[in-house]
Structures are given as structure tokens and as C-alpha cells.
Structure 1
Amino acid sequence: MKWISFNVDGNEQYGLYNVQEKTVAAVSKMEGSPKSFTEALGDPDFMEKAVRLADSAPRINESDIEWLAPIPRPLKNIFCVGKNYRDHAVEMGGKSSVPEHPMIFTKAPTTVSANHAPIPAYESLTDYLDYEGELAVIIGKKGKEISRAEAMDYVFGYTVLNDVTARDIQNRHKQYFLGKSLDSTCPMGPWIVTKDEIANPHDLGIITRVNGEIRQQSNTSQFIFPIDEIIHVLSKGMTLEPGDIIATGTPAGVGFAMNPKRTLRKGDSVEITIESVGTLTNKVQ
């Protein structure tokens, strides 16, 4: 199943998207529905009912909606795993920079934007705006001190995420938050694919194209730290909640590591495709 959030005439809604028909079953219009998809995720009884009764929910054509990020306003910062592909760790700092433990940083909730939403160029702030194609995990239930054996039970589904980064700001401040948290620098979507549709999240091809040129091409089998370990580590002293977002890291091929550097400029189009999940497309403006 593919869950989306969207606007119709300025009203935020959510529902189940049908790729073949290009329609949405607007389950947010069902009686007793939570206001937002994040709230709906926290109500398992409603989610079960919504799936069961989706055929009777109002149908809306894709042409009549404005796409939003699947989680339009996260309640927490987006959790991000740095250098989770060995080849990317090496390209950014050599073999010595390959981490021994998951390297966690965050992006502010105000970074979140949708499929086809513009990425601001921020020409007055940065000379090195970069792309990072990533698989993102959406947490589906509340948990703390989650064991690795149980970790995947807490996953609701997956989406595509672009961890857009101002490299010079990141390097100047000697930490990641400011360079990662410019507004609208976390496009995600177009939908959340529920985990039952993904046979193995650790065997998914990922490709990032800039203006049609392949820049990143890898597979999630190359993760240094798998999803269950990441969830286990994050939850050791912190409660994970429905709607929390975890970006699992990016493979080699970022523009800042190239010689010469090939970071983003106004007019560039970035397209990230993850096997069995979908394609996220955004243009720098």
C-alpha cells in the first residue's frame, strides 16, 4: 500500500494512492479520522479500519491534488545516519573515516518538502549545495529500549529522501545541523510504501540522477549498519514514536567529493529512484 498526504483546495488530507488508477482513497474523510497522517499512525485501530474500508472512501483524481511530503510536519527532527555506506565514508574522508558505531545527526522538521517541490538554491548562503539520495524508514509504533530482534516490528514503511546539504556551512561549523537544516532541504516522497510490500529493505537498488546523469548507484545491501541496528541504537535512551523518520545514509557519488566538485546549481533537476519504493524528483530554484 502507498500512503500519501496531500492538499485539496488548501485542506490537508491523507489516503491510499492507487498507482494504476492515479486516484487517492481519501481515508482522512472517513468518520472519526484523525486530523493528520502522523496522528493516524498513532491510532492502530483507525489504520486497520482505514485499510479495510478504503474502497468506500471518497476518490480523488491525482490531477486535483497538491502533493505533500508523506509526513508533512514531523514532530521531531529527522534522524539521519552519516557515512552508512563504506564507499561514501571513504570518498568523504578516507578509510579512517569509516565509523565503528552508527553516526547520528538530525535535520530540522522545517526542512521537509514534497515530491516536485522546489529546492531553494540559497546562493547567498552557500557555494556547495549537495544532494544525497537515501532510503528513509518511517516508524509505526511507540517504543524504547527496542531489541534488534524486535526492531523491524516498529517499522511502518519506507520512502525516498534527499538529504540536501550545504557542505561549506556543514564544514564551517564542525557539525552537521546547520548545514543540513536550511528550510526545504529535505524533499521526501512521493509516498510511504508499507513494509509488507518490501521483501528485503537491505537489498534495494538506489540511483541518483542530476539532470539525467547517474551520480549515485548502489544497493542498500551495502549498509554498514542495518535498519534493525539503527533502531536499536536510537531507542536505547530515547522513545521512538509513530511518524518518526530515519534517513539511512547515502552512497558514494555526492557532488562535493568529485574533482572538480559538481554540487547543485539553480535549474538542476535531482531524481532519486529506490527499487520497489519509488522516484523522488525536485528542481533547484
Structure 2
Amino acid sequence: MKYVTLETEGKPAAGILEGDEIRICAEGEGARDAVIDAIVAGELAGWDTREGRRVPLSAVRLLAPIPLPRGAIYCVGKNYHAHADEFHSSGFDSSSKEAVPKHPVIFTKPPHSVVGPETPVRGSLDPTGTVDYEGELGVVIGKAAFQVDKASAYDHVLGYVIINDVTSRELQRQHGQWTIGKGLDTFCPMGPWLVSADEAGDPARMELRTEINGELRQKASVSDLVFDIPTLIETMSRTMTLHPGDIIATGTAAGVGIGFTPPRYLQRGDVMRVSITGLGALENTVE
């Protein structure tokens, strides 16, 4: 299933994408949170049999499938081998003396940084003018996970979504950590829909691509992750509970702006397009 949150005729709604149409499963008051509410209640799978009116995809405005997560988005730093080397040699890496980490590097983005597809990213909020892009695979937890081992980790995954971990590089460096540089309002585009794990298939077979103004900058197989999804879930759940609706951004690939000499930072009007096999494409413009 492909779950969406949207606005139709100026009102919030949520439903399932079926071809070029959306079957509305919730609308009116509370519909903006209908997907996350159903995940938490363990009822999202039941939408498959829910009746509802149909509207063309072309006639609606898509929001992030989870417009306001219940908690911070968990993010993984330096989790593709080539990007770990790229970032470590850029001069912006204050996390470790090692290029490729021995253990997952985890930080967070605030829930209010989330925006949907086609929503502008407010690059003007960055006073340093060093806005960068990071296309990533997002994992959505469907069942509470505490001290879960790798063998059963996928049992706790509901589905997948595209995330763009937009970053102010200079703020990231100035503050010696990653939250301020990555937590600016609108700096977490997400969408266009949440794809259930059974429909998405094996993440290791997915390919991630990021284009800036039509130019391919990032291309990588998710199989190239330093720490795969089961390892991330096992590591994080060892000491804390991952709750239904929690989101893990699994890291970005080589080809980000700071990997160029000189760095190629985003400018007003630039169009970012992140696509992942089976998950669609997420497009946002910098303003």
C-alpha cells in the first residue's frame, strides 16, 4: 500500500494511492494526523478494506505522509562508505577521527522540520548560505521495538519513505554537532508517500538518486550502507524503545554539495529531486 496525507479542496485528508487515484480513508478534522494515529493504534493495515470516495492524484496537494511525527526523526551519519570518506575529508566532520565509524552515528531532526513534496525549503533561514542536500531512505517503525535482534528487526518495520536531510554545513561545523545545522524549519522534506514493507520489497535492492536542477549528483544502492537496517534497529533498541510511527533516516550517499571543490551549495530557485526504487520521487525547491 501507498499511504498519503493530502489536501483536497483546501481540507486535509488521508488515504491510499491506487494508480492515479487516491481512495480517501479519512478526511475532515484530525485527518492531517490520520496516518500516524492509525500507525500508533495498529490500524493502518485495515485501511486496505476501508471504503471511501476517490479523487485524482493530479487534483490534490500532497503533504508529508506523516506531517508531524510524534517524536524526533532519528538520523544516521556517515552510513555509506563513499560518503563517509567524502564527509570526513571535507573539513566539516567533528564527529570522529575515523572516516568510517565503528558504531552507528545517531542524531535527530525535530518533527517540526518536516515538510511535504513541492513545499519550498527555506534556505534563507540559513545565515551562512551553506545549504546542502542529502537524499535518504527513511524507515517507519510499525511495532514497538526494544532489545530486538537483527534476525527479527524487519518484523518491526511498517514501511519506507524518502527523506531529504537538508543541512546548513557551516552551522553544523560552528556548533560541533549536527542538530542545529540540520534542524532548521522545512529542512526535512519527506514523501511523497509511505510505502508498506510488503509492497516496497527488499531495501537492499533499492537505488537512491538525487538530482539538482536535473543534474545527477547522488546514485547509490541501499546495499552499500555501512550499517544496514537490521543493525540500526538492533543498536538503537538495545537501550531505548522504538515506538510505532518513529522514523529512521538511514544516511546519505556520496555526491553531496560539500563533496565538490569548491563546495556546490544550494541557491534560491534550485530544485532538489530525490528518488528511490519503488518509493517514487520527492521534489522541493529552495527559496
TM range (shorter): over 0.9
SS at match of 2:181: helix
Q: Are the equivalent residues in 2 in contact too, given 1:34–1:40 (CA < 8 A)?
A: no
Aligned to 1:37: 35
- 1:47: Cα distance to partner? 2.6
The answer to whether the 8 Å contact 1:128/1:256 transfers is no
Give secondary structure in 2 for the equivalent of 1:224. Answer: coil
For the 8 Å contact 2:145–2:243, the answer to whether it is kept is yes
2:81 equivalent in structure 1: 86
Residues 129-148 of structure 1 mapped to structure 2, 5 A cutoff: 129-148=131-150
1:109-128 matched pairs, under 5 angstroms: 109-122=111-124, 125-128=127-130
* CA pair 111-204 structure 1, distance change in 2 beyond 3 A: same
Question: Aligned residue for 2:93?
Answer: none
How far apart are the structure 2 equivalents of 1:158 and 1:263?
28
Matches within 5 A, 1:15-164: 15-18=15-18, 20=19, 22-29=20-27, 36-44=34-42, 46-53=43-50, 56-94=51-89, 96-122=98-124, 125-164=127-166
Q: Report if the CA contact (8 A) 2:114-2:185 is conserved.
A: yes
Q: TM-score, normalised by structure 2?
A: 0.92
Q: Which runs of 4+ in 1 moved over 4 A?
A: none
Q: TM-score w.r.t. structure 1 length?
A: 0.93
Matched, 1:266 2:264: no
Q: Distance in 1 between matches of 2:251 and 2:144?
A: 23
Measured on the aligned residues, the alpha-carbon RMSD in Å equals: 1.8
Query: Do the aligned residues in 2 keep the contact of 1:28 with 1:35 (CA within 8 Å)?
Result: no
What residue identity is the alignment partner of 1:77? A
Matched residue SS, 2:173: helix
Seen in structure 2, the aligned counterparts of structure 1 residues 52 and 146 have a Cα distance that, compared at 3 Å, is same
Cα distance between partner residues in 1 of 2:102 and 2:45:
40
SS of corresponding position for 1:98: coil
In structure 2, list runs of 5 or more residues that go unmatched: 90-96
Instruction: State the one-letter code of the partner of 1:100.
Output: K
Q: Deviation at 1:186? A: 0.5
CA contact (8 A) 2:16 2:25 kept: yes
Shift of the alpha carbon at 1:221? 0.9
The whole-number CA distance in structure 1 between the counterparts of 2:168 and 2:6 is: 28
**Contact 1:193 1:277 (8 Å CA) reproduced:** yes
* Equivalent residue letter for 1:274: I
Change (3 A) 1:124 1:248: closer
Corresponding letter in the other structure for 1:36: A
Report the CA distance between 1:190 and its aligned residue: 0.2
Give the Cα separation in 1 of the matches to 2:228 and 2:33. Answer: 33
Q: Which runs of 5+ in 1 are unaligned?
A: none
Per-residue CA shift, 1:58-101, capped at 9, x if unaligned? 21222432211011001111000000001001011149321000
Deviations 1:132-166 (A, max 9, x none): 00010011112211121111011111111100000
**Does residue 238 of structure 1 match 2:236?**
no
| Bigger mean CA deviation after superposition, 117-126 or 146-155 | 117-126
Rate the CA distance shift 1:124–1:39 in 2: closer, same or farther, 3 A.
closer
Residue 51 of structure 1 aligns with an amino acid whose one-letter code is D
SS of alignment partner, residue 183 of structure 1: coil
